[in-house]
Structure 1
């Protein structure tokens, strides 16, 4: 098991072909779960800092589709400014407010999966810790070789930024 810290708030490690990420949020579990499962909430925080998210489709049910596109609007992010990144997820299991499972892949603006992009099976577990929530994200890849490729693309840093945006959004609610 290889463990690293991105910030004092988030830690991650690799177990075989799985990337495991843990983060504590200063909000009740019901609220954190709702932030992940209500498209109006998701659109307000999903994506790294400096990016805006448009949700094209969101069906919170088994086999339901979540299709979204993120757009970099921060001119300070010179290399990324103006770029779009889209994703498509298919939900498998929804146990409110404890767990979500879904497959996720990069997609185009119409929701077609990007050829050759890895498909990730993601399990989000929401654990209640007094008035806080421990989020455990387990992302499983089809092979141990795919995981480093996605990590080299900045997946861990992207998740850290996503979760910082979520923490800031939760403070507003």
Structure 2
């Protein structure tokens, strides 16, 4: 059964929460290792076609999502590049990073909003409560990404994470 994602947007802060049927150590691994991220990151119909992870404070994750679903019309074949710069990592508990849109060379986009994100991995009734707190420069920046469909995208991405966690635990 898919868990519902809690979404709360207040001013320039977006908080997302969801419970996953896996221990915090496994959910943390899914966010920290390229071999896991390649299997679940992105909304349905999109695949990770480039993924490099240097998982340490001061390191980065550079990736490309490519739409591979012809049913998504004009999005088919589109690439979306992103880059995250890790600030703080507490094994199995927390990842703090700044997330950017980028180009294929890793140059950060100045046109699109960046976010300072904190992921918390909390033990919850034998499962993991994942809490994602994203802080944008302005409320307008948050509205921009929400208007782009980010809530649906994260919901589908976390559904795919849930499926990946189930596969890993078999």
TM-score normalised by L of structure 2: 0.94
- The reply on whether 1:132 has 2:127 as its aligned counterpart is yes
Partner residue of 1:110?
105
Deviation at 1:50, TM superposition (A): 1.1
State the alpha-carbon separation in 2 of the partners of residues 55 and 30 from structure 1: 25
Q: How does 1:11-26 map to 2 (within 5 A)?
A: 11-26=6-21
The structure-2 alpha-carbon separation of the partners of 1:169 and 1:136, relative to structure 1 and needing over 3 Å to count, comes to same
- The reply on whether 1:65 has 2:60 as its aligned counterpart is yes
Q: How does 1:70-89 map to 2 (within 5 A)?
A: 70-89=65-84
State the alpha-carbon separation in 2 of the partners of residues 74 and 116 from structure 1: 27
Q: How does 1:1-173 map to 2 (within 5 A)?
A: 9-173=4-168
State the alpha-carbon separation in 2 of the partners of residues 12 and 56 from structure 1: 27
Query: Could you list the per-position Cα deviations for residues 105-134 of structure 1 after superposition, in whole angstroms to 9, with x for gaps in the alignment?
Result: 111111111231111000000111132110
Contact 2:97–2:116 (CA under 8 A) maintained in structure 1: yes
State the alpha-carbon separation in 2 of the partners of residues 30 and 37 from structure 1: 10
What RMSD in Å do the two structures reach over aligned CA positions?
1.3
Contact 1:90–1:103 (CA under 8 A) maintained in structure 2: yes
TM-score normalised by L of structure 1: 0.92
State the alpha-carbon separation in 2 of the partners of residues 115 and 104 from structure 1: 12
Deviation at 1:76, TM superposition (A): 1.5
Equivalent pairs counted in the alignment come to 167
State the alpha-carbon separation in 2 of the partners of residues 11 and 63 from structure 1: 30
State the alpha-carbon separation in 1 of the partners of residues 65 and 55 from structure 2: 20
